[in-house]
């Protein structure tokens, strides 16, 4: 029996992380067929390392007949390509989950997957715990919240940036609201909030708090709480870099072909 084929949309740090894992033998059941992304040089580097094709378009990527397509690019890439991939009956792994905060788009993607007998997979990315979060939400009466703290200057050039907090030398609240309200303000930073909301009680109900801390290293500090009268879960996740996000895709893909599935 041949190996399972996968292709990647995206050629940045996360794509390189997955490619490195692949070359290290961490994905023994897979063959990487193609990589597609902005900038041929980065795609070529991955292709040379992994002996795969550089696709100039998603259509070229699909011509390599992957069994699954992995997005490690952007919200815009998900919005542009997920429907096309699903219409080919190919499962789609999304890291840029913020694309699905749009309820109409989310429903369209889900219906397309149903119509073509395939699936969308949300990788756990930098947080994990989707299984227990979803289980608690199913019991009923749950509330969900996520708190993200980053070094204050990393929010510069975003609508939530506060020079006052940066100059104060103290941790300060930059945003508080719903996941639906947060994603337009921080489309690159709050995918984790959208993921939490879709796994639990929805983007309009899940609460998001964002803090800036002038004294914090340039890392992510994430706290998630999902609670009902019957059960609760609290998770604190620290990630020094986004390497955890790339490796979560490796873990997901391995799970999908394993005789034992860790949910």
Domain with 187 in it: 130-241
Co-location of 65 and 173 in the same domain: no
CATH of the domain at 168: 3.30.360.10
pLDDT at residue 23 in the model: 96
For residue 38, count other CB atoms closer than 10 A to its CB: 12
Share of the chain above pLDDT 70, in %: 98
Q: How far is the C-alpha of 8 from the C-alpha of 238, rounded, in Å?
A: 26
Co-location of 33 and 114 in the same domain: yes
Q: Say if residue 214's pLDDT is above 80.
A: yes
Cβ-proximal residues to 135 (8 Å cutoff; 6+ apart), any chain: 231
pTM: 0.90
Q: Say if residue 218's pLDDT is above 70.
A: no
Co-location of 167 and 121 in the same domain: no
Instruction: With respect to residue 216, please indicate whether it lies within any of the assigned structural domains.
Output: yes
Co-location of 236 and 249 in the same domain: no
Co-location of 16 and 88 in the same domain: yes
pLDDT at residue 221 in the model: 85
Q: How far is the C-alpha of 10 from the C-alpha of 93, rounded, in Å?
A: 12
Looking at the structure of the chain, the number of domains it has is 2
Rounded (10°) angle between helices 243-257 and 13-23: 50
Co-location of 225 and 138 in the same domain: yes
Co-location of 29 and 93 in the same domain: yes
Give the HSE-up count for residue 13: Cα atoms under 13 Å, Cβ half-sphere. 5
Instruction: Report whether 249 contacts 18 (CB < 8 A).
Output: yes
Name the H helices within 70-159.
75-87, 103-115, 130-139
pLDDT at residue 127 in the model: 78
Q: How far is the C-alpha of 76 from the C-alpha of 43, rounded, in Å?
A: 18
Co-location of 163 and 186 in the same domain: yes
Q: Say which residue, 222 or 128, is predicted with more confidence.
A: 222
Co-location of 119 and 54 in the same domain: yes
pLDDT at residue 129 in the model: 84
**Average of per-residue pLDDT across 229-236:** 92
Q: Are strands 120-122 and 143-151 parallel, antiparallel or unpaired?
A: unpaired
CATH of the domain at 36: 3.40.50.720
**Average of per-residue pLDDT across 6-21:** 96
Instruction: With respect to residue 263, please indicate whether it lies within any of the assigned structural domains.
Output: no
Q: pLDDT class for 37, splitting at 50, 70, 90?
A: very high
Taking the CA atoms of 28, 17, 222 and 147 in sequence, report the sign of the dihedral they define: negative
Q: pLDDT class for 125, splitting at 50, 70, 90?
A: confident
Co-location of 135 and 81 in the same domain: no
3-state secondary structure (DSSP) of residue 222: strand
Q: pLDDT class for 40, splitting at 50, 70, 90?
A: confident
Write the pLDDT tens digit of every residue in 141-198: 999 999 999 999 999 999 999 999 999 999 999 999 999 999 889 887 888 888 899 9
CA distances from 263 to 22, 95, 245 (A): 22, 18, 17
Co-location of 116 and 15 in the same domain: yes
């Amino acid at each position: 029996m041949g190996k399972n084929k996968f292709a990647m949309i995206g050629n940045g740090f996360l794509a390189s992380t997955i490619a490195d894992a692949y070359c290290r033998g961490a994905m023994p059941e897979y063959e990487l067929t193609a990589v597609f992304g902005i900038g041929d040089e980065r795609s070529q580097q991955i292709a040379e390392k992994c002996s795969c094709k550089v696709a100039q378009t998603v259509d070229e990527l699909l011509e390599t007949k992957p069994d699954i397509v992995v997005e490690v690019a952007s919200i815009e890439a998900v919005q542009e390509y997920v429907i096309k991939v699903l219409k080919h009956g190919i499962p789609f792994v999304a890291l840029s989950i913020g694309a699905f905060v749009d309820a109409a788009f989310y429903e369209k993607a889900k219906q397309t997957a149903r119509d073509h007998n395939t699936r969308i997979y949300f990788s756990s990315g930098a947080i994990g715990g989707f299984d227990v979060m979803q289980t608690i939400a199913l019991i009923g009466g749950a509330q969900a919240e996520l708190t993200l703290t980053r070094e204050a200057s990393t929010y510069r050039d975003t609508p939530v940036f506060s020079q006052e907090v940066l100059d104060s030398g103290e941790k300060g609240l930059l945003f508080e609201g719903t996941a639906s309200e947060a994603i337009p303000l921080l489309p690159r930073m709050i995918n984790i909030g959208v993921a939490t909301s879709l796994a639990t009680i929805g983007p309009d109900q899940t609460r998001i708090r964002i803090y800036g801390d002038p004294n914090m290293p340039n890392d992510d500090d994430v706290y998630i709480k999902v609670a009902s009268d019957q059960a609760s879960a609290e998770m604190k996740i620290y990630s020094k870099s986004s390497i955890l996000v790339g490796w979560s895709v490796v873990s997901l893909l391995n799970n999908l072909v394993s005789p034992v599935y860790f949910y």
